[in-house]
Amino acid sequence: MPGSAGWRKVFGGTGGATGALPRHGRGSIVYARSTTIEAQPLSVDIGIAHVRDVVMPALQEIDGCVGVSLLVDRQSGRCIATSAWETLEAMRASVERVAPIRDRAALMFAGSARVEEWDIALLHRDHPSHEGACVRATWLKVVPDQLGRSLEFYRTSVLPELESLDGFCSASLMVDHPACRRAVSCSTFDSMDAMARNRDRASELRSRRVRELGAEVLDVAEFELAIAHLRVPELV
């Protein structure tokens, strides 16, 4: 899931201020590029169709791309499209090919676009998402030299509590690349009703755990999961 400004492994050891995530033996880092578009609400459905029918097939032809997701808030118009990449090299090599695709998508949404790059630090699926699924995204300010501890705490303490929420489908945590100063946690639920039912519990969990995580909440938002086509493996 992307910026308050986007989004979807946990690693032992310690992170540093060098812009590198701590490593874990259970998998290699997957990368993501998020594009946040402040769309005109009346253009959201047009934009969704364009991402599904034009953007996604175009990205699938680029080496190293492992999928696309799209979050939309129909009321505010904020939409977040995220592409996932097998390697940092693949993501960087795609820049020139992706730029005109992104610019055209922004036009279809009738809005401006902001681009961010992320390390996908964790991804856990309880079960696949289906039509009607929704996402709660929480953007966090994190301390780079405490990143390893924060990721381990998220995996061992926060994730089990997220799994207990009504309608839980999956969770992901992404860290901004290369600064490692911000993170975004995305929890996917089966429906808007399920997300509404667990809103109070989620708020209590967030308030209770964020200090232990060594983070500061920057923003919280809820979205419709309009497109879910990320072929990222389980990363916990």
The pLDDT-based confidence of 56 (bands split at 50, 70, 90) is very high
For 196-209, write each residue's pLDDT tens digit: 999 999 999 998 88
Among 12-26, 86-100, 105-119, the minimum mean pLDDT is found in 12-26
* pLDDT tens by residue, 60-102: 999 999 999 999 999 999 999 999 999 999 999 999 999 999 9
What percent of the chain has a predicted confidence (pLDDT) above 70?
86
Q: What confidence tier does 230 reach under pLDDT thresholds 50, 70, 90?
A: confident
Question: Residue 214: is its pLDDT beyond 90?
Answer: no
What pTM does this model have? Answer: 0.86
Q: Is the dihedral of CA 167, 74, 82, 210 positive or negative?
A: negative
| Of 107, 105, 142, the residue nearest 217 (C-alpha) | 142
Q: What is the rounded CA–CA span in Å between residue 227 and residue 56?
A: 10
What pLDDT, on a 0 to 100 scale, did the predictor assign at position 28? 55
Residues facing residue 182 across a β-bridge: 141
Indicate the helix (H) or strand (E) that contains 215: strand 215-230
Which CATH number among 3.30.1330.10, 3.30.460.10, 3.40.50.300, 3.30.70.100 corresponds to the domain 30-229? 3.30.70.100
**Amino acid letter, 206:** R
| pLDDT for the residue 26 | 42
User: Of 10-14, 82-86, 120-124, 222-226, which gets the smallest average pLDDT?
Assistant: 10-14
Phi-psi region of 63 (alpha: psi -120 to 50; beta: other; left: phi over 0): beta
Note the pLDDT of residue 27. 47
